Amino acid sequence: MAKDSCLARITAGVAVGGAVGGAVGAVYGTYEAIRFKVPGLMKIRFIGQTTIGSAAVFGLFLGAGSLIHCGKSY
């Protein structure tokens, strides 16, 4: 079994973090848009900003965690 390269692990971490963060951000953004009664098409912008921001943060942290664990072998 070949070991994954460090770059492949980091890329996978960023991708998974982005997917999870995007899903959580979309749900949270929708909830907040309804809660604060955001008018009309501003809801779409609000939900989009929340989704992208959350995906970026989750992806960053999961990528950093993958980088930290990259050199360790268990």
**Structural domain spans, the chain:** 8-68
Amino acid at 16: V
Per the listing, tokens 């995906």 go with: 55
Per the listing, tokens 């949270």 go with: 28
Amino acid at 60: L
Question: With contact defined as beta carbons under 8 Å apart, do 18 and 66 qualify?
Answer: no
**For residue range 18-68, what is the model confidence (pLDDT) as tens digits?**
999 999 999 999 999 999 999 999 999 999 999 999 999 999 999 999 999
Please state the pTM of the whole predicted model.
0.86
Q: Rg of the Cα trace of the chain? A: 16
**For residue range 23-36, what is the model confidence (pLDDT) as tens digits?**
999 999 999 999 99
**For residue range 3-22, what is the model confidence (pLDDT) as tens digits?**
678 999 999 999 999 999 99
Q: What is d(CA 29, CA 6) in angstroms, rounded to the nearest whole number?
A: 33
